[in-house]
Amino acid sequence: MKMLRWSTAALALFVVGCGNVEEATLEPEAMATQEAGLRACSTSLDCVSGCNCSGGLCAPAIGPTPPAGYCDQAPVRACTTGSDCASGCNCVGNVCVDSGFSPPANCLLAPPDSYESDNTHTTASSYMGTPQLNHSFHRQNDVDWVLVATPINQVMTVETYNLRNGPWMSIDIYAYNYATRTLGTLVGSTSSTICAPITPSCLIYRATANVVANGVYAVKITDTRGQPAGDDYTPTAKYDLKMY
């Protein structure tokens, strides 16, 4: 439940018993001054952690009431080092801030992982036989593609594990023509963890496919959270990948 924050522009002061009502009503200039500190928003991403967008203004979310004026602050992205910040931003005082160079950077955004740009099968990374660590979903609906060569006929397993910061995903395995860079048949997929994610051991996505010797396959891993970019209080979702 979101708390409703009333605008002072909607409130009129009335004098009971004496006085002129018109004199007690706030003048437009006075109301504008009182509203100047309220933070306007279109979504909750425009508000600082612990506050939601309600009626076009940032208001406290469910939980302990924050200090007065807290929700009027601009959101920020927390950081430990500069690697936690997007290009064009520096980590200063544990907050990502614009480095000052043109064009201005959106420092609420997460930085890409080391496998970018792998958002299409034609720019996919290659699986070299050892786990790929520290994949991330740094944008809403981010997609990671990985190509893998199969030396023998086998049932190949694609597994994402060591999930951090709540990634939800789907895994799709396609036959692939590497010479023409075209996708073939979908041969395996999953969009759920191996068991109910109430224990850490269940936080694994696993898809299998029958593959042929000397084949090439394209693995597509899609962010299914629907989480907009720029959320300062949601750490970047990450996962590790292995195939066997």
| Domains of the chain (ranges, CATH numbers) | 8-72 (no CATH), 76-109 (no CATH), 121-243 (2.60.120.380)
Q: Is 201 helix (H, G, I), strand (E, B) or coil?
A: helix
**For residue range 66-99, what is the model confidence (pLDDT) as tens digits?**
899 999 998 989 889 999 899 999 999 999 999 9
**Percentage, residues of the chain above pLDDT 70:** 83
pLDDT for the residue 31: 35
**Percentage, residues of the chain above pLDDT 90:** 62
Q: What number is the average pLDDT over the span 178-193? A: 98
**For residue range 5-61, what is the model confidence (pLDDT) as tens digits?**
333 333 333 333 334 433 333 344 433 333 446 899 998 888 988 899 999 999 998
Does 157 score more than 70 pLDDT?
A: yes
Instruction: Record the pTM.
Output: 0.76
- DSSP, residue by residue, 92-112: ETTEEEE-SPSSPP-TTSPPP
Q: How far apart are CA 45 and CA 25, in angstroms?
A: 35
Does 105 score more than 70 pLDDT?
A: yes
- For the chain, the distance separating the N- and C-terminal CA atoms, rounded to the nearest angstrom, is 45
pLDDT for the residue 210: 98
Mean pLDDT of the chain: 85
pLDDT for the residue 180: 97
The per-residue b/e assignment along 137-150, b for 16 or more CB within 10 angstroms, e otherwise, is: bbbeebbbbbbbeb
Q: What number is the average pLDDT over the span 218-231? A: 87
